[in-house]
Structure 1
């Protein structure tokens, strides 16, 4: 347990209600044919998160601090940091309501709908308490529990539906694009490679470890936790692959559809999994926003400082209010999608730039093969960014 690190926070962060929904829809529409997209996104996430963790460990800086110290042009540095800060803050605030909403849906199935109006406040209060009183070590244990809970719930469901092993291997290792599947491929990749996780991971590793000698342990923590996260996503796709129904649009629809086949165990397992997914993302999104704001604006202090707490409280409260009053922040979400379309490839490029700065990393800079892998991922994220922007502008359905 002492060797557990922040990797489980990162894994829990990308398995939110959006990831669950994307996996359910992809599995329901195309069975296991798109598992290769999840495998690719998992590899891409491992490559980028390893770079982020190595940067935080060796340089002792978060990604924003590293950019601040390595970019020579004051004007460009200021513009870039402000762009990153507001893009992350707007995006995380817009999607916080969705994270809280996913946890609320899970509670509605488990506890009933009589008091559903109070569930957003309950989930928000739990997230607030964990962020206010929990230190890094307790957060790591808590997110280990959430990832383990999601693993048991979703993997158990996937086993119970009895998939064919030949279909699983073909879907994983034989890439294909069935008609109409491009949108789902982009969704599966986009929900796994999360921009704010690159900032969050570097900062968390910096706060936990202090010596490059710990690099092996950092890599092991990253590999184990993200592999579990990828397994959870794949298990959701496999579970949904057995229900070829147009009425399955999210995890709760999947639970209802599987109940006649598997009994109430499916309903309870999927509801617990959705609750854990929503709660985990509802905690990590405000936390990441606070780390990014602290680094971009050069605020001093730790996670208990007033400025740090003010940011995550703002993100959390706005999410609760939006959900409690049934506000649909369509324009804000569209703005966040537009910003993230620009942000994902931009942050990947900035991370690659930082990982090749010898004054920051000395002998721990990227190797040539790491730069090649990173370059390929940047190319993919550029395509994803173009799709996101064109979709918001109405040029891509």
Structure 2
């Protein structure tokens, strides 16, 4: 009896810990979607652990930027784009370009995410209902419409705390699925160590892969939305330490979960000489190596990654517009319903036309890196303005870290330009 009580108490504690997670859960939702999973699988199966260093640097800078943007909101009471418009010369035009750039990237990702998620659900149905084999297009389309309709309905009834709880469930399932998969299929420890030494694969597509990695891990949407989510959580200047812990925890979890996906693909497929270009290719390639259990877990994680990303991707455009207007997000407004409704229809483009979403996903992640330098430069200007910061001085280490992140983002953007020129 005591043992039963102890185990139920342990489960309650774990549940309380997971549900106590703050706005960082949105950062994980934005960062790790099927596009991110695809990039990690492609990289792991094609280059082994060679690009682990890119993931590590991106996660370090991502954590720093989340922390700085969150702190700015708590110290000044202002959100990001509203502050750009108010305090930076030419900030109005800058803010509008950021809204267009990020919304374009996120909505493109949304098409791919919904397409892949619907395909994964179809593959699961196929195991139990083989007669669906001749009706792939119809089934995928119906599933996609059902998924996006449910997500839209949840958006219409929800508030910040409700969104947060939904995301916590998806992200927890995703994280556990990928981490358990890693214990079943893993690379050699020496490969992991070698992957932390900077190098770019000298092959076709190597530069684009690096840019896509940064585009998906250092997503500008994650930092710009941070002030609104921090305010939505009800945090104030008293929660500065909590905000810092939340940003660090989110960055660490992004690294662990993304690294696990890359490691599974590397351990199972890289040495077999079986590079993967689609998530669904994993069905045929992973099962003989890892077995059905690891495969099922991995796909369950991928599906959760997709569903956890649909929510933030639908939210991003109304969040940025609300940020620009007043710094307040009203989920009951007509504007919110209309913009998220348009995003839902946009998301159905890939399933309706039966297109392959993978290339579009990687391309949209490459496009994400072009907004990044502006977003970093903007916050650097704001936090070093004494008038705005009301007597709060920014630590020299934070400034050095942000300058390093800015330099890194410029190098990656240049790399992205070269990659796109060679692609087209």
**TM-score, normalisation: structure 1:** 0.90
Partner of 1:191: 216
Q: Which runs of 5+ in 1 are unaligned?
A: none
Aligned-partner Cα distance in 2 for 1:370–1:100: 37
Pair 338,253 (structure 1): closer, same or farther in 2 beyond 3 Å: closer
Query: 1:387 aligned to 2:387?
Result: no
Number of residues paired by the alignment?
392
Query: 1:117 aligned to 2:141?
Result: yes
Aligned-partner Cα distance in 2 for 1:125–1:292: 22
> Which segment drifts farther, 245-254 or 117-126?
245-254
Q: CA deviation at 1:260?
A: 1.6
Q: CA deviation at 1:220?
A: 1.3
Q: CA deviation at 1:61?
A: 2.0
Query: 1:271 aligned to 2:299?
Result: yes
Aligned-partner Cα distance in 2 for 1:138–1:390: 42
Aligned-partner Cα distance in 2 for 1:313–1:161: 41
Partner of 2:101: 87
> Which segment drifts farther, 341-350 or 177-186?
177-186
Q: CA deviation at 1:378?
A: 0.8
Partner of 1:378: 406
Q: Secondary structure at the match of 2:262?
A: helix
Q: How is 1:116-265 mapped onto 2 (pairs within 5 angstroms)?
A: 116-172=140-196, 174-180=197-203, 181-242=206-267, 243-244=269-270, 245-265=273-293
**TM-score, normalisation: structure 2:** 0.84
Aligned-partner Cα distance in 2 for 1:324–1:191: 25
Pair 218,300 (structure 1): closer, same or farther in 2 beyond 3 Å: closer
Q: CA deviation at 1:247?
A: 4.9
Q: CA deviation at 1:127?
A: 1.6
Q: CA deviation at 1:102?
A: 2.4
Q: CA RMSD in A?
A: 2.7
Q: Secondary structure at the match of 1:220?
A: helix
Q: Which runs of 5+ in 2 are unaligned?
A: 1-15, 127-131
Partner of 1:295: 323
Structure with bigger gyration radius: 2
Query: 1:99 aligned to 2:113?
Result: yes
Aligned-partner Cα distance in 2 for 1:334–1:250: 11
Aligned-partner Cα distance in 2 for 1:185–1:299: 33
Pair 214,328 (structure 1): closer, same or farther in 2 beyond 3 Å: same
Q: CA deviation at 1:33?
A: 2.5
Partner of 2:73: 56
Partner of 2:11: none
Q: CA deviation at 1:233?
A: 0.5
Q: CA deviation at 1:44?
A: 1.1
Contact kept in structure 2, 1:94 and 1:333, CA below 8 Å:
yes
